[in-house]
Structure 1
Amino acid sequence: MRKTLQIGSVMLPNNLILAPMAGVSDLSFRLLCKEQGAGLVCMEMISAKAIYYGNRHTDELMVTTEAERPVSLQLFGNDPEIMASMAERIEDRPFDLFDINMGCPVQKVVKNGEGSALMNNPGLVYDIVSAMVKRVRKPVTVKIRKGWDENHVNAVEIARIAEQAGAAAIAVHGRTREQLYSGQADWEIIRQVKEAVKIPVIGNGDVTDPLSAEALVRETGCDGIMIARAARGNPWIFHRILTYEETGVDPGQPDMETVKAEILRHARMAVRQKGERTAMSEMRKHIAWYTAGMPHSAMLRRASSSISTLDELENLLDGAENGAVRTGAEHIR
């Protein structure tokens, strides 16, 4: 049976969530994941300071459509007043939830005391969450990690603080900041957080298929499942998990013709959103993710690194038929 998930005033149709991923979860990709059944999709993280200074690119990142809702907008920053005032400024935009980034591990973010660096300052965590909750009507959620490193594991403490400050839900990535995205996610810490708070807990880390999604819920008791890297080039993961929950059967990965069609759809959507030059440049990494593990995928990745137009992409994928491109494209016909 499909599990719904209530976060504050927002009811999600199911408990599967596309994680906010910088450079990945843009509008085009969110729509593809929504089509495949994601109950909530999250935007790329947005800098509160960039909103404050009127950054044009940031405004573009906040574009949403009714078709993808419910959708969550994730802010990052370390100043409670700026976070709260910028949340208040953009609240009337057509999205459903605010999320606060306390999990990003990249150096350019943490060196400013933002992202996962906030977990080293529990008092500031409370100040940021409470300031936003007081200023906006939409539910506020928080995304954290296990801790800074194995000597500073404090996800339970931070989750309790976020709950006390008024957070409506908390997502826990079972890796420390020091791990980045390496090693195995610690699901035990997700279980501990679930037992420590009353608000919904969303588990994140190492869910790659229906069986791992089922195992995460069984072992942690988490209310929601957040999927990040496993969704790259694989929006079908949401459909697979939902189908397995309802029927007990995993429909598996799509055939090559479907993959090819999805790459082209994704590219066309991205071109409409961003223009051909930017969209095709960004599609190169998506093509690598879509075709990972396929025969001759390395050849296809090399060939795709030089494409700059939709026509070139179509020719690349159809190249085996007319001999114009001798790459791994033939395997996805």
Structure 2
Amino acid sequence: MTQMVTTLRSLKVKPAEIHAIDLGQGVSFDPPMLLAPMEGVTDRTFRGLVLEQNGAASVGGACTEFQRVTGVPLKTEKLQKELGSRIDGVAVGIQLMGNQPDVVGESARNAAEAGADFIDLNFGCPAPRVFQHCAGSALLNDPPLLEAMIRATVAASPIPVTAKIRGGVEHSDNLEEIAKRVEQAGATSLTVHGRLRSDRYSDPPNWDYIVRAKSQVQIPVIGNGNADTPESIERMFKETGCDGVMVGRGAMRDPWLFRRWMALRNGTPQPQWTRTDVYDWLQQYHQRMSAGGTLPRHSLGRLKQAIKAFREGGHLPEGAVNTALRCKAVDQLYMELGF
């Protein structure tokens, strides 16, 4: 990696004041930076690689992709497999999504047995199929059921329970009520994504939803939504007063984002990755997927997803990526990228 000497000090900006987030029962996010759960992205391989290469000094927590709970509790063995490898000092939770309080609660108990550090409940997923099945963000339209879900999970779980929401479905009229119910039900932190369900992932997000939720509760509030550079992470801390920041797609475009954010805060040069770093990262990702038993066609699909993210981040040439996306084999993909 090369280094870029851009620091908050050089920009004459004072770092936001931050503290570790204590979830109770010996679990904390220290520093208060989290890798977001992203369906189809943050599987155990991607998550493990990002956490390892950033380290516990730069990222304090992460979650699995959401685990859909329908009808019967999820088994401990399945949840243990989803957790994958860990690094010391980083709390890793299992995110559950469903609409049956008792079944989700039993799944949470099994997740604790599987080794999860905490349970996160998904009340933010905007996907149409999820919404149609009254899960994810659909529960924002049913505050009593959302509260019942949290209460049942807290009652069943021997580990901390957190929740993730959006500002609302089509409006944010009940955001304050939702935030209060989350706290009253026993969740020990609340993550707020700065968009409505109807916004999907359109830009820009509305960080005012984070501010409004924060004003209603005493539990830590974690902000989420377009905090995808070291500078925008600092802005989110300062502009919203949030206690922590959760990074999603920014970590796809820049897998070393947490390290660069910490360097910015510390007044040290930010690491800037090169094409060689990109190649090494892709190689490690592919090797770990293969070692974990991922089918070749699925590995190729994940690599294509990764190079699209690198292209969006401006770190791979568009023409080469467009050609590589049509490749049928990994070796051919690397060749088209010039590796």
Counterpart of 1:30 (choices 47, 53, 75) is 47
Aligned AA (2:168)? G
CA distance in 2 between counterparts of 1:265 and 1:295 reads: 17
1:255 maps onto 2:268 in alignment: no
| Mapping 1:109-124, distance limit 5 Å | 109-124=130-145
Classify 1:54/1:34 alpha carbon distance in 2 versus 1 (closer, same or farther; 3 Å): closer
Counterpart of 1:87 (choices 105, 108, 118) is 108
Partner of 1:322: none
- Offset at 1:266? 1.2
1:6 maps onto 2:6 in alignment: no
Q: By percentage of residues, which structure has more helix?
A: 1
Structure 2: gaps spanning 5 or more residues: 1-16
Residues paired across the two proteins, number: 315
Classify 1:16/1:285 alpha carbon distance in 2 versus 1 (closer, same or farther; 3 Å): same
- Offset at 1:259? 1.2
Classify 1:284/1:210 alpha carbon distance in 2 versus 1 (closer, same or farther; 3 Å): same
Partner of 1:52: 73
- Offset at 1:184? 1.3
Structure 1: gaps spanning 5 or more residues: 320-326
- Offset at 1:169? 0.3
Partner of 1:170: 190
Q: Answer whether contact 2:74 2:107 (CA < 8 A) is retained.
A: no
Classify 1:53/1:18 alpha carbon distance in 2 versus 1 (closer, same or farther; 3 Å): closer
Partner of 1:284: 304
Classify 1:2/1:32 alpha carbon distance in 2 versus 1 (closer, same or farther; 3 Å): farther
Aligned AA (1:258)? D
- Offset at 1:276? 4.5
Per-residue CA deviations over 1:82-117 (Å, capped at 9, x if unaligned) read: 111221233211120100000000001010110000
Q: Answer whether contact 1:202 1:222 (CA < 8 A) is retained.
A: yes
1:194 maps onto 2:214 in alignment: yes
CA distance in 2 between counterparts of 1:93 and 1:60 reads: 5
Partner of 1:241: 261
CA distance in 1 between counterparts of 2:80 and 2:114 reads: 13
SS at match of 1:91: helix
TM-score (norm: length of structure 2): 0.86
Q: Greater relative contact order (Cα 8 A, min sep 6): structure 1 or 2?
A: 2
Counterpart of 1:146 (choices 162, 167, 178) is 167
Classify 1:60/1:164 alpha carbon distance in 2 versus 1 (closer, same or farther; 3 Å): closer
- Offset at 1:305? 3.6
CA distance in 2 between counterparts of 1:30 and 1:295 reads: 22
Classify 1:219/1:119 alpha carbon distance in 2 versus 1 (closer, same or farther; 3 Å): same
1:216 maps onto 2:236 in alignment: yes
Per-residue CA deviations over 1:181-216 (Å, capped at 9, x if unaligned) read: 002111112111112100010000111111111111
Partner of 1:20: 37
Classify 1:67/1:198 alpha carbon distance in 2 versus 1 (closer, same or farther; 3 Å): same
SS at match of 1:166: coil
TM-score (norm: length of structure 1): 0.88
- Offset at 1:60? 7.5
The 10-residue stretch of structure 1 (63-72 or 267-276) with the greater mean CA deviation from structure 2: 63-72
Give % identity: 30
- Offset at 1:230? 1.0
Aligned AA (2:308)? A
